[in-house]
Structure 1
């Protein structure tokens, strides 16, 4: 029989340098409408100038056209900034800033009318030519300003990381808001869910178990490789000390041979961990997505009110968190050791850069996973 459906609207504001994030938000909203909205009798609409505005002429400024087209009947404002602040408008330093100030003014008038989610990308640009110091200065000044206004902003490194945060943050804020601002309700017979998306508790449990196991095994192989190369480098240190402790001069040929063999060990280590880094992160992402969907189903279908009902998921996440934190600490320490190696020969220098690149990539992935686990833990403990 017909159901009453609440429609929530989300406005996204950002400059053009986060185009990928804007495009991927459509996928996130479509997914949330299935995994979250379908069970909660809610529909989420994403409002963007690309889809909700059109060419026109204004006596004031182009931004006024966009503001009128987008309207003010939205429930969540999502702002995203990276290395650009945006194009100045008649009233503000950028369209993103003007849209934020419109939303913030609404919030100040009626705090229950909407919520604001703001995200800052921390990834380094691909090229130094992409950096505009005056733009970064504006971004940082704005970041400090909204922090002073009481906006609890979030930071992310990759588009994939932002998507995972949005999957957790959007439902949390919509649940807190209650009725949509425009009070948009409609009667519909049902919300159709694509068959390929109709996974259930058992399906997600299997995905979580398999994915987290694959992720853990990849991390263990990386740990074993790190222990191996650490042991080998210690042996080489002992060998070098033995060479230098003798009072005889050491020929350049002997030294080059020594550093060449040391470089081979380091390159071997880099080759061993290289395939396991993507296995670790992809398996982790697959498992964490499945865990989020599993908790969503439990809460909507089984009316979970006690965290004991999902104790297995909590234990899995706590174990994963422990492994990530241990690996992160050990990897950072080993990177410091490698980075402090003296530049004795070109082979060794090249090997050092090779290892540093792999370790920095791993550390970056571990940090991302760590932040996602923290958000998942918050979601699991949410009543």
Structure 2
């Protein structure tokens, strides 16, 4: 029998070394739906970039994915093992950028780090080091879980999804923070997420976003940023560019930052 339900879209975010987990997550979501959907009047829809996005010119690749699928999702499940992924010009990797978007927009985030055995012969040391730095940042925000095998991962995920569904159903927190508290929390989160890297963020003026700023440790690339039309802004603490330069600068940062 049919029933009315609220549909929540869940983004599956990960680099390319956790294929088994990426297959397991939709299975767990399907099981959750079978057990809970009718009773809770909630249906969960798994979303992957490979099935829900399409090629599009005119923006950096991660920007296209963000616009097509990330910003329309209600929650994210991130999974990592030995790799973080490739830089996007905005963040350390596409997966990291997706997770950061959910954190900054105060949407539920579930991040898991695998402790499965690793074959040293196949390990990319730079990727692994970057992943460990990212894991430390997530731990500071209290967002991480860990698992030892795929069965352990499925069991944890199935039980923990319900907690975040309750958060989504509640809508606004029962004791929302004051404007000042929200501002301070957002600044604290941003500091943790952006610590020790070069990144881009939009600059809004008079209610419109016509520029963006490159911030972080830019000493080594300051001349190149200047050559590309960047102007140092001490008030903003970064290099100011018009939005028309966004793709060019993102491509440069992906390689050189």
Contact 1:14 1:81 in 2 (8 A): yes
Task: Assess if the C-alpha contact under 8 Å between 1:36 and 1:171 holds in 2.
Answer: no
Q: Is the 8 A contact 1:75 1:180 kept in 2?
A: no
Q: Distance in 2 between matches of 1:25 and 1:71?
A: 17
Tell me, yes or no, if the aligned pair for 1:3 and 1:41 is still in contact at 8 Å.
yes
Q: Contact between 1:29 and 1:44, CA under 8 Å: does it hold in 2?
A: yes
- The residue number in structure 1 matching 2:176 is none
In the alignment, the residues of structure 1 paired with residue 143 and residue 67 of structure 2 have an alpha-carbon distance, to the nearest angstrom, of 27
Matched position secondary structure for 1:23: helix
Is 1:169 the equivalent of 2:160? yes
Partner of 2:133: 141
1:132 paired with 2:124, answer: yes
Structure ranking higher in strand proportion: 2
After the TM superposition, list the runs of 4 or more consecutive aligned residues in structure 1 that deviate by more than 6 angstroms.
none
* Structure 1 length-normalised TM: 0.43
Which deviations, in whole Å up to 9, do the C-alpha atoms of 1:262-318 show, x marking residues without a partner? xxxxxxxxxxxxxxxxxxxxxxxxxxxxxxxxxxxxxxxxxxxxxxxxxxxxxxxxx
SS of match in other structure, 1:72: helix
Q: Which has the higher helix share?
A: 1
Deviation of 1:119 after TM superposition, in Å, equals 0.3
Q: How does 1:254-333 map to 2 (within 5 A)?
A: none
**1:120/1:153 contact within 8 Å kept:** yes
In 1, the alpha carbon distance for the partners of 2:44 and 2:66 equals 20
Q: CA 1:179–1:8 in 2, change beyond 3 Å: closer, same or farther?
A: farther
Using the TM superposition, give the Cα deviation of residue 2 of structure 1 relative to its aligned residue in structure 2, in angstroms.
6.3
Q: Alignment length, in residue pairs? A: 172
**Structure 1 SS opposite 2:5:** strand
TM-superposed deviation, 1:52: 0.8
Residue 79 of structure 2 is aligned to residue 83 of structure 1: no
3-state DSSP class of the match of 1:57?
A: coil
Which structure is larger by alpha-carbon Rg, 1 or 2? Answer: 1
Distance in 1 separating the partners of 2:37 and 2:3: 13
CA distance in 1, matches of 2:70, 2:139: 25
Say whether 1:152 aligns with 2:151.
no
1:74 shift after superposition:
2.3
CA distance in 2, matches of 1:180, 1:164: 26
Which position in structure 1 is the counterpart of 2:116? 123
SS state at 1:89 partner: coil
Other-structure match for 1:21:
21
- Are the counterparts in 1 of residues 3 and 38 from structure 2 also a CA contact under 8 Å? no
Structure 2 residues without counterparts, runs of 5 or longer: 173-257
Q: What is the CA RMSD across the aligned residues, in angstroms?
A: 1.8
Q: Deviations over 1:166-186 (max 9, x none)?
A: 1101012102321579xxxxx
- Aligned equivalents of 2:150, 2:163: Cα separation in 1: 20
Structure 1 residues 36 and 173: alpha-carbon distance in aligned structure 2, compared to 1, 3 A threshold: same
CA displacement at 1:98 relative to structure 2 = 0.6
Distance 1:135 1:28 in 2: 28
Which residue of structure 1 aligns with residue 64 of structure 2?
A: 65
What are the Cα deviations for residues 207-256 of structure 1, in whole angstroms up to 9, with x where unaligned? xxxxxxxxxxxxxxxxxxxxxxxxxxxxxxxxxxxxxxxxxxxxxxxxxx
How much has 1:4 moved relative to structure 2?
2.8
Question: Within 1, Cα distance between the matches of 2:170 and 2:50?
Answer: 27
How many Å separate the matches in 2 of 1:2 and 1:81?
37
Name structure 1 gaps, 5 residues minimum. Answer: 108-113, 182-383
CA distance in 2, matches of 1:67, 1:176: 23
1:376 alignment partner in structure 2: none
Secondary structure, counterpart of 1:4 in structure 2: coil
| TM value normalised by structure 2 | 0.63
**SS at 1:8 equivalent:** strand
